[in-house]
Amino acid sequence: MLMLEIHTKLLIADTTEILDAFVENGLHREYSIYCQFPHCDNVTQKLVQRNEPADIEFNDGYIFNRKN
Q: 15-51, pLDDT tens digit by residue?
A: 999 999 999 999 999 999 999 999 988 888 888 888 8
pLDDT at position 51: 87
Q: Which residues share a beta bridge with 65?
A: 55
Tell me the C-alpha distance between 23 and 54, whole Å: 9
How does strand 10-13 pair with strand 32-35? parallel
The H or E element that residue 32 is part of is strand 32-35
Instruction: Report the alpha-carbon distance of residue 34 to residue 32 in Å, rounded.
Output: 7
pTM summary value: 0.83
pLDDT for position 68 = 61
pLDDT at position 10, please?
92
